[in-house]
Amino acid sequence: MKINGILFLLLVFLLSACGGRKQNSQQQTQAPVSAEKSAEMANHPGKKVYASFCLACHMADGSGVPGMHPPLIQTEWVTGDKERLINITLKGMSGKIEVNGETYNSIMPPHSHLSDKQIADVLTYVRKSFGNNASEVMIEEVQKVRNK
């Protein structure tokens, strides 16, 4: 168990370090879900940001609203390229998209008023909740995208 934990930490560290350097890297390798992690997410600072700024539209369980607000469960926008995900959060999104086989043609407001830390927190929370298990988003990554 102890060794597993250390290995896991190492993995998370390696993954996030690599995500920080290669900001254009596609699909991150996904680590297996662990009970420790879900427990961690319940107290994660991103949960609060999510509750204040995302939950109304995307729902507490990330399932969204049919035909209106897409889900954040296992979507390529959420678990895929981090730069794209940070951009959606900063600048919002509109136009026709297909998410998990369902079409949306709606509009999401920009959230550039959130701090880099708030965005890193909320996106880490989203990428590790609702059955997702993608790598963390770092403050520096948000900074980089915002300053582009």
Partner 1 sequence: MKHLFVLFLVFAAFACNQQEKSAVEKIMADTDNGGITLPEGFSALVVADEIGRGRHIAVNENGDIYVSLRNHDQNKGIACLRDTTGDGRADIVEYTGEHTGTGIKLHKGYLYFGSDTAVVRYPMQPGELLPANNWEMIARGFPTERQHEAKPMEFDGQGNMYVTVGAPANACMEQMRTKGSPGMDPCPILEYAGGIWKFKDDVLNQDQLTDGERYATGIRHAVANSWNKKVNELYVVQHGRDQLSQFFPEMFDDKQNAELPAEEFFLVTEGADFGWPYCYYDPFQEKKVLAPEYGGDGEMVERCENKMDPIMAFPGHIAPNDLLFYTGNMFPEKYRNGAFIAFHGSWNRAPEPQSGYFVVFVPFDGAYPSSDWEIFADGFAGMETINSTRDAEYRPCGLAQGPDGSLYVVDSNKGKIWRIMYS
Residues that bind partner 1 (CB under 8 A): 51-53, 55-57, 59-61, 63-69, 71, 92, 94-95, 103, 105-107, 109-111, 113
- d(CA 57, CA 9) in angstroms, rounded, equals 33
Residues 1-40 that bind ligand HEC (CB under 6 A): none
Among 72, 134, 137, 142, interactor with ligand HEC by CB under 6 A: 72
When asked if residue 122 is in the footprint of ligand HEC (CB under 6 A), the reply is yes
When asked if residue 110 is in the footprint of ligand HEC (CB under 6 A), the reply is no
The binder of 145, among ligand HEC, partner 1, none, by C-beta within 5 to 8 A per type, is none
The binder of 86, among ligand HEC, partner 1, none, by C-beta within 5 to 8 A per type, is none
Token pair of 126 as six digits? 């989203």
Phi and psi at 73, nearest 5°, equal -100, 115
When asked if residue 94 is in the footprint of ligand HEC (CB under 6 A), the reply is yes
Q: How far is the CB of 93 from partner 1 (least distance, A)?
A: 10
Token pair of 2 as six digits? 């102890």
- d(CA 74, CA 22) in angstroms, rounded, equals 22
Burial class (CB in 10 A: 0-12, 13-18, 19+), 79: buried
- d(CA 15, CA 31) in angstroms, rounded, equals 9
Measured CA to CA in angstroms, residue 59 lies from 19, 50, 77, 98, 141 at distances of 28, 10, 17, 19, 26
Among 78, 90, 142, 145, interactor with ligand HEC by CB under 6 A: 78
- Contact residues toward ligand HEC (CB under 6 A) are 53-54, 56-58, 69-72, 75, 77-78, 85, 88-89, 93-95, 97, 99, 104-109, 111, 122, 126
